[in-house]
């Protein structure tokens, strides 16, 4: 925050509701500015970040569609969050979540809920994730929202409901990545509780359930294979097993 001057910060907290110009496109122009941040450091990088945010904000309430408005809000929120301006990010993401009940509105809600979880505002996160899970977005996003519902519940101390939520996505979900996330949340919870055998059982069920998906020659299949190989959950189980073995010797 110290590298941000007051003149640069002030526009971020002003309501920007202008329409896109006839010859401009907020998404394309914002994307170009975001790309130009690569290789920049310090003041120059943050100045371009602000330009990109203002560009995306100029797309709010455009004549295009609520989906494109929400996409602009999501991109602006992500840039603000990565720049350490969580308050401004929450404002823009909240706006995007309210604008659209489809994919980009849910993306805004998922990011917004993550910010709430980071601040341990579990009740607010639960409300945001629950609303997102009831939207018209693609199933993969709805299942991601349900996994996060479980995380919010767990943070609130409702561990039984959290496990029930994760188990539901893990066993009955349609999308492989959210299912993997659900299995890992479920298993990590058991591991924290000291149930190594239960956690190992969840890991085995995960591998069996997602084996076919991991063999698919698609982008999601490749991501899933990489996630399974580099799983921190699996590594934690191995380390805990090794510790227990050493204690028995």
- pLDDT digits 0-9 by tens, 38-74: 888 889 999 999 999 999 998 876 656 788 889 999 9
Q: What is the pLDDT of residue 64?
A: 62
Q: What is the pLDDT of residue 3?
A: 45
Q: What is the mean pLDDT of residues 160-178?
A: 96
Structure tokens at 59: 């797309």
Pick from 14, 2, 6: nearest CA to 92: 14
Q: What is the pLDDT of residue 62?
A: 63
User: Residue 106 in 3-state DSSP?
Assistant: helix
Q: What is the pTM of this model?
A: 0.83
Kindly indicate the confidence band of residue 172, based on its pLDDT and cuts at 50, 70 and 90.
very high
Whether the predicted pLDDT of 200 surpasses 50: yes
Start-to-end CA span in the chain (Å) = 52
Pick from 208, 196, 206, 205: nearest CA to 238: 196
Q: What is the mean pLDDT of residues 13-27?
A: 49
Q: Are 16 and 55 in contact (CB under 8 A)?
A: no
- Mean residue pLDDT across the chain: 87
Structure tokens at 107: 């993306």
Whether the predicted pLDDT of 15 surpasses 70: no
Q: What is the pLDDT of residue 1?
A: 42
Whether the predicted pLDDT of 184 surpasses 80: yes
Number of neighbours of residue 243 by Cβ within 10 angstroms: 11
Burial of 58 (0-12, 13-18, 19+ CB in 10 A): buried
Give the residue, 18 or 110, on which the prediction is more confident.
110
Q: What is the pLDDT of residue 132?
A: 94
Q: What is the pLDDT of residue 190?
A: 95
Whether the predicted pLDDT of 19 surpasses 80: no
Q: Alpha-carbon distance 133 to 147, whole Å? A: 10
Whether the predicted pLDDT of 183 surpasses 80: yes
pLDDT digits (tens, 9 = 90+) for 91-149: 999 999 998 878 999 999 999 999 999 999 999 999 999 999 998 889 999 999 999 99
Whether the predicted pLDDT of 197 surpasses 70: yes
Q: Alpha-carbon distance 190 to 30, whole Å? A: 43
């Amino acid at each position: 925050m110290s590298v941000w001057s007051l003149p640069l910060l002030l526009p971020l907290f002003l309501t920007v509701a202008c329409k896109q110009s006839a010859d401009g496109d907020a998404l394309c122009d914002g994307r170009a500015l975001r790309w130009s941040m690569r290789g920049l450091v310090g003041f120059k990088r943050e100045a371009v970040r602000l330009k990109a945010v203002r560009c995306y904000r100029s797309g709010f309430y455009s004549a295009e569609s609520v989906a494109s408005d929400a996409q602009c809000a999501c991109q602006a929120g992500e840039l603000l969050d990565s720049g350490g301006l969580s308050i401004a990010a929450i404002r823009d993401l909240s706006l995007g979540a309210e604008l659209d009940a489809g994919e980009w509105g849910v993306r805004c809600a998922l990011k917004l809920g993550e910010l709430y979880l980071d601040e341990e505002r579990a009740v607010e996160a639960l409300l945001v994730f629950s609303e997102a899970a009831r939207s018209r977005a693609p199933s993969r996003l709805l299942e991601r929202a349900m996994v996060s519902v479980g995380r919010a519940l767990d943070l609130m101390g409702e561990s039984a409901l959290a496990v029930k939520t994760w188990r539901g996505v893990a066993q009955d979900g349609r999308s492989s990545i959210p299912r993997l996330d659900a299995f890992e949340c479920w298993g990590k919870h058991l591991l924290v509780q000291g149930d190594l055998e239960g956690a190992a059982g969840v890991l085995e069920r995960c591998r069996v359930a997602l084996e076919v998906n991991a063999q698919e020659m698609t982008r999601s299949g490749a991501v899933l294979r990489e996630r399974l190989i580099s799983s921190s959950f699996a590594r934690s189980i191995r380390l805990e097993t090794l510790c227990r073995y050493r204690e028995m010797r």
